[in-house]
């Protein structure tokens, strides 16, 4: 049984940073960035700020904006794990500045574990009127446990944990190694353990149910079994799913149980099946919503491709001090929430958001726009995905009015880092005789195509906006009043029928 409550060790890495300065940091590039683990990207050095639960206070907002101005590109990007990235770092961040960030609670107290993936939970934890349990205490506990156990720095950097409190804004379909999802069984809240067995698929139900107070122990045991069966000298550590698959999941879970002081309970039947993971579910947090706390509201703000200019970040921090509880919450959909707004202040906050050049309407084309790093950030990319995505969204905003969010996903290569599920419309970058072009996919993936059905190929970026406009207009006409989601609409037709209807003037 792993022990809890060991005191925090001031780790070797931070000491080295203090002794030798930032050059040590910048020479030690890793594949998985963190505040203390810089990574080289096409556009400079990339630093990722690990923010468990995605909650930032206004002082942290100001400090991060300062760093991004002084050392980076003058902006920050929210990632699909609700981290923040500072990009285009050309000059080193001194160890003193890193220490100041740590003192403000940014990054882990123990920098040795700072490269391990951010702990995910619903951005509405504690405020969602439908949730069964507030998961923020569990996020904090697991983060503290990681920081207190330096041996866990040997875990794969991709070792990822997610807590879902069973609310409306669910994170259960996000890619994680371990998901603990709340459900109600005989009036008692349990967490159902899900493990990621299959590459690039959400975690799968193990039928094990746990009381909230048992969650930390099982996470510690899952980590301990991983370490026992992993050569920690390996440069590339295996993913948890690889170790589970090589041991066999039943064997793995038996070894987990041997480390626990309680027996594992199993419940085959899902007492409360999760609501189907529709594409639109990822956008329920956008807009103005009542909280579980009376007279308080939260507003989900659209960040185009997750980007915030530093002056926007500063002003958001100020705004939360003035009207709410002084914090913002980053979401795994690369947007943010302003929470705890008294009803009488909602209109003022709406106005301030608009003054910042931001929006909070779910039908804004940018609310469901996703792009990977693209050419500027990744050598594998065939196209400048981010610039193209924003240019397309700007064009569509003036040519089509949407009634519901449509997920448009730009990917610079077939790896699809930015989004694991099929988009409503996926644009896969290809370089065709040095012309940046896209294959266009719609609807469900089939056995041949993971992005959906390919309806056009090698479309140059200059041709793209008119084609997407036509696709959206045809969908609007044919789904009028039916409320039919885009995906269902396109799945009703053969490719040739779709191509024909998209080529007709609407
Ligand atoms: S999807 Fe491909 S091009 Fe885009 S960031 Fe990932 S590896 Fe790079």
Using one digit for the tens of pLDDT, what is the confidence trace for 250-274?
999 999 999 999 999 998 776 555 5
Residues 225 and 250: their CA atoms lie apart, in Å, by 13
Mean pLDDT of 404-431: 87
Task: Measure 227 CA to ligand 1 centroid, in angstroms.
Answer: 30
Report the CATH number of the 12-111 domain: 3.30.70
Query: Ligand 1, from 85, 413, 423, 439: best to mutate by most atoms within 8 Å of Cβ?
Result: 413
Nearest protein CA to atom 2 of ligand 1, as residue: 413
Residues 300 and 316: their CA atoms lie apart, in Å, by 13
Query: What is the pLDDT, as a whole number, of residue 434?
Result: 80
Query: What is the pLDDT, as a whole number, of residue 2?
Result: 31
* Domain spans in the chain, listed from the N-terminal domain onward: 12-111, 132-165+173-266, 279-362, 368-503
Query: What is the pLDDT, as a whole number, of residue 282?
Result: 65
User: 186: buried, middle or exposed (CB in 10 Å: 19+, 13-18, 0-12)?
Assistant: exposed
Strand partners, 348: none
Q: Which of 85, 67, 60 is nearest to 418 (CA)?
A: 85
Would you say residue 25 has pLDDT above 50? no
Helices (H) and strands (E) in the chain — how many of each? 14, 21
Would you say residue 11 has pLDDT above 60? no
Given the DSSP bridges, would you call strands 327-330 and 336-342 parallel, antiparallel or unpaired? antiparallel
Mean pLDDT of 461-490: 87
Would you say residue 203 has pLDDT above 70? yes
Of the options 3.90.480.20, 3.40.50.10420, 2.130.10.10, 1.10.287.130, the CATH number for the domain spanning 279-362: 3.90.480.20
Strand partners, 34: 37
What number does the ligand 1 atom closest to the CA of 375 have? 3
Strand partners, 57: 327
Given the DSSP bridges, would you call strands 204-210 and 188-195 parallel, antiparallel or unpaired? antiparallel
Of the options 3.40.1280.10, 3.90.1170.40, 3.30.413.10, 3.40.50.10330, the CATH number for the domain spanning 368-503: 3.30.413.10
Query: What is the pLDDT, as a whole number, of residue 118?
Result: 85
Of the options 3.20.20.150, 3.30.413.10, 3.40.640.10, 3.40.1190.20, the CATH number for the domain spanning 132-165+173-266: 3.30.413.10
Query: What is the pLDDT, as a whole number, of residue 13?
Result: 36
Grouping H, G, I as helix, E, B as strand and the rest as coil, residue 138 is helix
Task: Measure 428 CA to ligand 1 centroid, in angstroms.
Answer: 10
Would you say residue 395 has pLDDT above 70? yes
Q: Which of 129, 85, 59 is nearest to 321 (CA)?
A: 59
DSSP string, 388-438: HHHHHHHHHHHH---SS---EEEESSTT--S-SSPPSEEEEEEEETTEEEE
Q: From residue 111, how far is each of 11, 95, 106, 321, 341 by CA, in Å?
A: 7, 12, 11, 29, 34
Would you say residue 279 has pLDDT above 80? no
Write out 169-227 in H/E/C secondary structure.
CCCCCCCCCEEEEEEEECCEEEEEEEECCCCCCCCEEEEEEECHHHHHHHHHHHHHHHH
- Those residues whose C-beta lies under 8 Å from the C-beta of residue 431, and which sit 6 or more positions away, are 382, 383, 437
What percent of the chain lies above the pLDDT cut of 70?
87
Residues 285 and 100: their CA atoms lie apart, in Å, by 32
Task: Measure 160 CA to ligand 1 centroid, in angstroms.
Answer: 20
Maximum mean pLDDT: which of 16-30, 304-318, 434-448: 304-318
Residues 491 and 16: their CA atoms lie apart, in Å, by 57
Task: Measure 27 CA to ligand 1 centroid, in angstroms.
Answer: 24
Do 368-503 and 132-165+173-266 fall under one CATH topology?
Answer: yes
**Binding-site residues, ligand 1, Cβ < 6 A:** 372-373, 378, 380-381, 411-413, 415-417
**Overall residue count recorded for the chain in this entry:** 506
Query: What is the pLDDT, as a whole number, of residue 277?
Result: 53
């Amino acid at each position: 049984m792993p022990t809890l409550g060991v005191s925090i060790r001031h780790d070797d890495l931070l000491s080295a940073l203090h002794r030798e300065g930032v050059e040590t940091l910048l020479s030690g590039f890793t594949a998985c960035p963190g505040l203390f683990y810089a990574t080289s990207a096409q556009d400079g050095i990339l630093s990722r700020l690990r923010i468990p639960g995605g909650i930032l206070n206004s002082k942290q907002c100001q400090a991060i904006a300062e760093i991004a101005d002084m050392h980076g590109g003058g902006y920050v990007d929210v990632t699909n794990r609700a981290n923040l990235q500072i990009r285009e770092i050309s000059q080193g961040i001194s160890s003193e500045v890193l220490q100041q960030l740590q003192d403000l609670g940014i990054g882990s107290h123990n920098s040795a574990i700072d490269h391990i993936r951010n702990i995910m939970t619903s951005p509405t934890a504690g405020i969602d009127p439908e949730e069964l349990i507030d998961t923020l205490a569990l996020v904090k506990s697991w983060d503290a446990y990681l920081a207190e156990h330096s041996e866990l720095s040997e875990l794969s950097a991709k070792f990822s944990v997610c807590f879902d409190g069973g609310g409306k804004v669910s994170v259960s379909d996000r890619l994680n190694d371990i998901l603990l999802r709340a459900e109600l069984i005989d009036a008692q809240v349990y967490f159902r353990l899900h493990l990621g067995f299959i590459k690039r698929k959400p975690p799968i139900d193990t039928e094990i149910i746990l009381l909230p107070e048992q969650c930390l122990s099982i996470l510690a045991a899952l980590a301990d079994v991983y370490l026992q069966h992993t050569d920690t000298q390996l440069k590339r550590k295996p993913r948890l799913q690889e170790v589970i698959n090589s041991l066999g999941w039943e064997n793995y879970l038996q070894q987990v149980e041997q480390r626990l002081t309680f027996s594992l309970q199993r419940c085959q039947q899902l007492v409360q099946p999760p609501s189907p993971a529709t594409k639109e579910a990822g956008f329920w947090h956008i807009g103005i919503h009542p909280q579980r706390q009376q007279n308080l509201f939260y507003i989900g703000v659209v960040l185009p491709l997750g980007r915030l200019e530093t002056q926007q970040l500063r002003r958001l921090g100020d705004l939360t001090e003035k009207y709410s509880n002084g914090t913002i919450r980053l979401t795994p959909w690369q947007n943010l929430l302003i929470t705890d707004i008294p009803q009488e202040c909602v209109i003022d906050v709406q106005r301030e958001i608009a003054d910042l050049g931001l929006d909070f309407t779910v039908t804004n084309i940018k609310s469901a726009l996703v792009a990977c790093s693209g050419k500027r950030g990744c050598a594998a990319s065939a196209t400048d995905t981010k610039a193209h995505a924003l240019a397309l969204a700007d064009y569509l905003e003036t040519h089509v009015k949407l009634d519901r969010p449509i997920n448009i996903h730009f990917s610079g290569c077939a790896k699809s880092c930015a989004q694991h599920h099929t988009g409503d419309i996926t644009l896969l970058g290809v370089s065709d005789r040095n012309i940046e072009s896209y294959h266009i996919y719609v609807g469900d993936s089939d056995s041949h195509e993971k992005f959906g059905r390919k309806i056009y190929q090698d479309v140059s970026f200059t041709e793209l906006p008119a084609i997407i406009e036509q696709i959206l207009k045809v969908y609007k006409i044919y789904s009028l009043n039916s409320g039919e989601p885009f995906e269902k609409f396109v799945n009703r037709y053969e490719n040739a029928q779709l191509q024909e209807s998209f080529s007709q003037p609407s």
